[in-house]
């Protein structure tokens, strides 16, 4: 039997290719309402209505076959069959945004001129209708010489017709109207084609235009953005509390139950102190993570995020970056790894390198548990007036500190190591859309799952190993178990280095396993204190927050927070930087400068706080 035919989705960024891919193959590729979301190719299987199985590939968006950035290069190589280890696609699905037809037809002509079997998915016809556009697909079909199928990817409209069109797509001889055109000629042709295909147009985006005038206003825009972020961080603390408390109670209950049921011994201690206290101390932050992502996903889907990028462009230009860096930096608030990969949509190599180097300073969600546990223990839950909570304010300040640090570093790098001018910013603003509940639910579920999976795998493993290192060799009566343990002795070595910045031995101990994942800092503190409590019932019952309060001073806690704003405590980030920069030079540079910054920031915080009498 011959291999299944290969079908590839091509088109401008933000046309809805990944949404179509998901709808057709049942995959869960990330979709978001701004250009440059997909930066790698991804394949999946589907069965056409004719019963024919095909292999479908989702590609990064592109503006032309001549690549100007690493992600466009993937697209152009896959289409031409030059992608290593992959045959050229047999059929192309050219995805067009119906509400942005003229622009999207330029690249479509270039692709169709290749003469491969092809189908056009006239996607987002619902948005076109909403904006008062009535289109005639037959006109486009006539002009382009291939089947044109209207679709609404997110509502699964037109999928069967699209499948049938794929099944019957055949090789063609593109007419003279398509081949050998210059880019300018294609633009002129696109204009004429769009004009002919648009039957009627009643301007109905007045509301959106007004919204843009407000949100993109150079003065009002940043104020609105800041206010919005402010609400987000207040909500992370305020809304999460009842859920976090419930989870906390669940963890305590489990801990006590297992303790009561199991016989005394090392195995019981491993399960209660290592697994339940350690991993549980991280899991309780699930509600906060979910709330944070609910806001991020809503901002992405509505089209507001792209506006925020537009607003930030001026500020980015001041530090020598382009607004293009905004989306990768934004993704880094979830995790630096997809953020660093998203830099593939940046054209200028030095621009891209700078963005990679500063991405780890964006506060990723793995820091949230660390921040939250320390803030909850040391920052009073008071109102600073007008219903604004101090805890949320401190959390916002930590995020802002990361951003400001990153901008400062970019400024320095662009004048030294990655010298260059800021490049111009071209990004089309996506249409405003109401976030779809189902997409939000899927997105949140994915984030929650990533978090829980980390807790169940990497955090679990590291915590168990740490517990073992904390319990051997066993202390004699009268000795402190942590002091004599292997982990304790290792930490004593590191403690010498971090003592000048106010860290104690337990903090030093937390830093080592936290290289695997930042959240481990929390579970490792929880485990250390649980082991240290030994048989002391009172101490055992004390929650991690109370333990911290009784063992750390406020300046120490603040220094620890400052450390985590900058420290590159994540091996995966280093690994992905190595991959994206093809060598060890830049990851080594990143490690050195970020640890340096963390050390200075934590030290300065500690000594200033001490001097201020905190
Ligand atoms: N209303 C409407 N929205 C759509 C449709 N198709 C996609 N979208 C939305 O449009 C946005 C972009 O969709 P994606 O699938 O990420 O676009 P893409 O072409 O893969 O973009 P890149 O990966 O950046 O090249 C998302 O917010 C989708 O929810 C559609 O037919 N109708
Ligand atoms: Mg995509």
Q: Write the pLDDT tens digit of every residue in 193-251.
A: 999 998 887 766 678 888 999 999 989 999 999 899 888 888 888 888 899 899 989 99
Of 143, 152, 42, 141, residue with least CA distance to 97 = 152
Helix (H, G, I), strand (E, B) or coil at 177: coil
Half-sphere exposure of 411 (CA within 13 A, CB side): 10
Cβ pair 113, 16 in contact under 8 A: no
Task: Say how far apart CA 129 and CA 484 lie, in whole Å.
Answer: 72
Task: Say how far apart CA 546 and CA 552 lie, in whole Å.
Answer: 10
Q: How, if at all, do strands 118-123 and 5-11 pair?
A: unpaired
Cβ pair 78, 110 in contact under 8 A: no
Instruction: Give the closest ligand to the alpha carbon of residue 149.
Output: 1
Residue with the bigger pLDDT between 273 and 576: it is 576
Of 62, 76, 165, residue with least CA distance to 114 = 76
Q: Among 86-100, 464-478, 504-518, which stretch is predicted with the lowest mean pLDDT?
A: 464-478
- DSSP secondary-structure letter at 157? B
Beta bridge partners of 47: 53
Cα of 153 from ligand 2 centre, angstroms = 12
Q: Does residue 99's CB lie within 6 angstroms of at least one atom of ligand 1? A: no
Q: How does pLDDT run across 440-462, given as a tens digit for each residue? A: 999 999 999 999 999 999 999 99
Q: Is 128 exposed, middle or buried (0-12, 13-18, 19+ CB in 10 A)?
A: buried
Average pLDDT over residues 22-44: 93
Name which residue sits closest to atom 16 of ligand 1, judged by CA: 31
Q: How, if at all, do strands 42-47 and 53-58 pair?
A: antiparallel
- DSSP secondary-structure letter at 77? H
Q: Among 74-88, 156-170, 359-373, 528-542, which stretch is predicted with the lowest mean pLDDT?
A: 528-542
Whether this model's ipTM surpasses 0.85 comes out as yes
Q: Among 94-103, 190-199, 317-326, 523-532, which stretch is predicted with the lowest mean pLDDT?
A: 317-326
- Strand boundaries in 19-152, DSSP class E: 42-47, 53-58, 91-97, 118-123, 133-135, 147-150
Cβ pair 322, 424 in contact under 8 A: yes
What percentage of the chain exceeds 70 in pLDDT? 98
45 — phi, psi (to 5°)?
-105, 150
Of 368, 375, 363, 454, residue with least CA distance to 400 = 363
The pLDDT-based confidence of 347 (bands split at 50, 70, 90) is: confident
Q: What residues contact residue 449 under an 8 Å CB cut-off, 6+ apart?
A: none
Find the helix or strand (DSSP H, E) in which 9 lies. Answer: strand 5-11
Q: Is 428 exposed, middle or buried (0-12, 13-18, 19+ CB in 10 A)?
A: middle
Task: Say how far apart CA 100 and CA 171 lie, in whole Å.
Answer: 27
**Bond from prior residue into 525 cis (ω within 30 degrees of 0):** no
Q: Does residue 342's CB lie within 6 angstroms of at least one atom of ligand 1? A: no
pLDDT above 80 for 421: no
pLDDT above 90 for 549: yes
What percentage of the chain exceeds 90 in pLDDT? 71
Beta bridge partners of 118: 92
Q: What is the 3-state composition of the chain as percent helix, strand, coil, each rounded to the nearest 5?
A: 65, 10, 30
Ligand 1 atom at minimal distance to the Cα of residue 31: 16
Average pLDDT over residues 135-144: 94
Cβ pair 135, 122 in contact under 8 A: yes
Task: Say how far apart CA 282 and CA 452 lie, in whole Å.
Answer: 9
Cα of 554 from ligand 1 centre, angstroms = 47
Q: Does residue 13's CB lie within 6 angstroms of at least one atom of ligand 1? A: yes
Instruction: Give the closest ligand to the alpha carbon of residue 435.
Output: 1
Mutate to test the pocket of ligand 1, among 18, 126, 439 (most ligand atoms within 8 A of CB): 18
Beta bridge partners of 10: 94
Task: Say how far apart CA 407 and CA 403 lie, in whole Å.
Answer: 6
pLDDT above 90 for 314: no
Q: Does residue 9's CB lie within 6 angstroms of at least one atom of ligand 1? A: no
Average pLDDT over residues 581-596: 96
Q: Among 378-392, 413-427, 433-447, which stretch is predicted with the lowest mean pLDDT?
A: 413-427
Find the helix or strand (DSSP H, E) in which 8 lies. Answer: strand 5-11
Q: How, if at all, do strands 198-201 and 133-135 pair?
A: antiparallel
Of 158, 96, 106, 152, residue with least CA distance to 129 = 152
Residue with token string 């590839």:
8
Mutate to test the pocket of ligand 1, among 19, 108, 298 (most ligand atoms within 8 A of CB): 19
Beta bridge partners of 383: 389
Cβ pair 357, 590 in contact under 8 A: yes
Helix axes 367-378, 520-533, angle to 10 degrees: 50
Q: What residues contact residue 152 under an 8 Å CB cut-off, 6+ apart?
A: 123, 124, 125, 126, 158
Cβ pair 564, 405 in contact under 8 A: no
Ligand 1 atom at minimal distance to the Cα of residue 130: 1
Average pLDDT over residues 131-147: 92
Task: Say how far apart CA 587 and CA 369 lie, in whole Å.
Answer: 25
Q: What's the confidence (pLDDT) of residue 173?
A: 78
First to last CA, the chain: 75
Of 544, 535, 542, 524, residue with least CA distance to 480 = 535
The pLDDT-based confidence of 591 (bands split at 50, 70, 90) is: very high
Average pLDDT over residues 115-137: 93
pLDDT above 70 for 425: no
pLDDT averaged over every residue in the chain: 91
- Helix extents (H) in 303-344: 304-318, 326-331, 336-342
The pLDDT-based confidence of 423 (bands split at 50, 70, 90) is: low
CA angle 429, 434, 438 (to 5 degrees): 120
| pTM (predicted TM-score) | 0.87
Find the helix or strand (DSSP H, E) in which 197 lies. Answer: helix 183-197
Task: Say how far apart CA 594 and CA 405 lie, in whole Å.
Answer: 10
pLDDT above 70 for 422: no
Name which residue sits closest to atom 6 of ligand 1, judged by CA: 16
Residue with token string 């295909």:
197
pLDDT above 80 for 175: no
Find the helix or strand (DSSP H, E) in which 200 lies. Answer: strand 198-201
């Amino acid at each position: 039997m011959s291999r299944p035919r290969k079908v590839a989705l091509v088109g401008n960024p933000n046309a809805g290719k990944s949404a179509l891919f998901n709808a057709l193959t049942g995959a869960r590729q990330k979709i978001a309402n701004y250009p440059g979301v997909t930066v790698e190719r991804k394949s999946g299987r589907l069965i056409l209505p004719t019963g024919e199985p095909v292999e479908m590939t989702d590609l990064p968006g592109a503006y032309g076959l001549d690549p100007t950035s690493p992600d466009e290069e993937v697209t152009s190589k896959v289409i031409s069959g030059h992608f290593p280890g992959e045959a050229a696609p047999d059929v192309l699905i050219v995805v067009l945004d119906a509400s942005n037809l003229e622009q999207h037809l330029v690249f479509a002509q270039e692709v169709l001129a290749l003469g491969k079997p092809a189908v056009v998915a006239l996607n987002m016809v619902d948005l076109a209708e909403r904006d008062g556009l009535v289109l005639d697909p037959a006109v486009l079909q006539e002009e382009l010489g291939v089947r044109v199928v209207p679709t609404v990817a997110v509502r699964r409209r037109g999928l069967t017709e699209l499948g049938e069109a794929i099944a019957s797509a055949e090789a063609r001889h593109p007419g003279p109207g398509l081949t050998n055109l210059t880019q300018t000629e294609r633009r002129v042709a696109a204009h004429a084609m769009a004009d002919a295909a648009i039957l009627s147009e009643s301007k109905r985006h007045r509301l959106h235009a007004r919204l843009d005038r407000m949100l993109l206003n150079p003065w009002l825009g940043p104020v609105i953005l800041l206010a919005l972020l402010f609400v987000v961080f207040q909500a992370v603390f305020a809304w999460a509390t009842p859920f976090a408390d419930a989870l906390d109670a669940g963890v305590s209950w489990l801990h006590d139950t297992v303790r009561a049921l199991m016989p005394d011994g090392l195995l019981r201690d491993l399960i209660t102190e290592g697994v339940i206290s350690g991993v549980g101390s991280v899991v309780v932050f699930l509600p906060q993570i979910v709330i944070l992502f609910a806001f991020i996903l809503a901002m992405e889907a509505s089209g507001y995020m792209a506006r925020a990028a537009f607003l930030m462009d001026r500020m980015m230009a001041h530090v020598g970056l382009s607004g293009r860096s905004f989306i990768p930096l934004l993704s880094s608030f979830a995790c630096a790894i997809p953020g660093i990969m998203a830099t593939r949509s940046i054209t200028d190599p030095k621009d891209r390198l700078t963005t990679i180097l500063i991405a780890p300073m964006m506060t990723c969600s793995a820091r949230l548990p660390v921040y939250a546990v320390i803030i909850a223990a040391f920052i009073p839950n008071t109102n600073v007036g007008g219903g604004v909570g101090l805890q949320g304010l401190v959390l916002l300040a930590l995020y802002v500190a990361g951003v400001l640090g990153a901008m400062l570093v970019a400024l320095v790098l662009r004048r030294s190591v990655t010298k260059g001018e800021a490049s111009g910013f071209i990004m089309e603003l996506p249409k405003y859309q109401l976030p779809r509940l189902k997409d939000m639910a899927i997105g949140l579920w994915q984030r929650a799952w990533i978090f829980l999976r980390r807790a169940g795998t990497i955090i679990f493993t590291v915590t168990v190993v740490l517990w073992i290192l904390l319990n051997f060799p066993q202390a004699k009566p009268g000795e402190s178990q942590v002091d004599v343990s292997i982990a304790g002795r290792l930490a004593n070595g590191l403690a010498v280095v971090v003592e000048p910045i106010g860290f104690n031995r337990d903090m030093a101990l937390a830093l080592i396993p936290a290289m695997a994942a930042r959240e481990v800092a929390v579970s490792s503190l929880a485990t250390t204190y649980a082991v240290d409590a030994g048989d002391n019932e009172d101490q055992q019952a004390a929650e991690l927050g109370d333990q911290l309060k009784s063992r750390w001073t406020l300046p120490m806690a603040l220094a620890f927070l400052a450390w985590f704003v900058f420290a590159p405590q994540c091996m995966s980030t280093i690994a992905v930087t190595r991959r994206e920069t093809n060598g060890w030079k830049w990851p080594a540079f990143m490690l050195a400068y970020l640890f340096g910054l963390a050390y200075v920031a934590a030290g300065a915080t500690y000594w200033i706080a001490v001097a201020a009498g905190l």
